[in-house]
Amino acid sequence: MLASALSAAAVSQVVQEYHLLGTWLASPGPVPASEIEALRRDIGTRITIRSTAFAALMLCTVATLWLQQRQYAIRRTLNQIKLFARDILASMDQGVITTDLNNTITSVNSAAIIILGLESDCVGKPLASATTAKARYIGIGWALP
């Protein structure tokens, strides 16, 4: 926002200089008119460049705000899906353990904790460390690489 304000102020200043040179050109004094006209073209070029930069900055700002809004909506949807999956796992009477590709436990439902005698803080730990004597006794096979 600060960059936008500074750009707008710079464009305003250049426009004022452009109009000032226009009034000087209308009643030339000791400065040759060709020099004033060259200055006027230079200032006109600056106006065009700064206006284009300002428009690009505003477009980037709008795009950033839109992308942030989309990211917020996606995060909200993802959180809803996670809550839904957590509710499904919690309601199951079978023990369920989920892992990522590295065989790190990502979730465990309460039935698995009770049936397998797992610790409730096993999420985030390797699957191999969660195996208990009880799990081995009842014949749970862990598919580890």
Mean pLDDT of the chain: 79
- pLDDT for the residue 133: 46
Unique residue bearing structure tokens 């109009």: 19
Which range is least confidently modeled, 5-19, 71-85, 101-115? Answer: 5-19
pLDDT at 75: 96
Burial of 68 (0-12, 13-18, 19+ CB in 10 A): exposed
**pLDDT at 132 exceeding the cut of 90:** no
Map out the domains of the chain as residue ranges.
Answer: 2-89, 92-137
pLDDT tens, residue by residue, 63-96: 999 999 999 999 999 999 989 988 888 888 888 8
Three-state secondary-structure class, residue 3: helix
- Give the percent of the chain with pLDDT over 90: 16
pLDDT: is 23 or 71 the higher one?
Answer: 71
Q: H or E element: which one contains 67?
A: helix 33-91
The pLDDT of residue 80: 95
What average pLDDT score do residues 47-69 get?
87
More confident residue, 81 or 136: 81
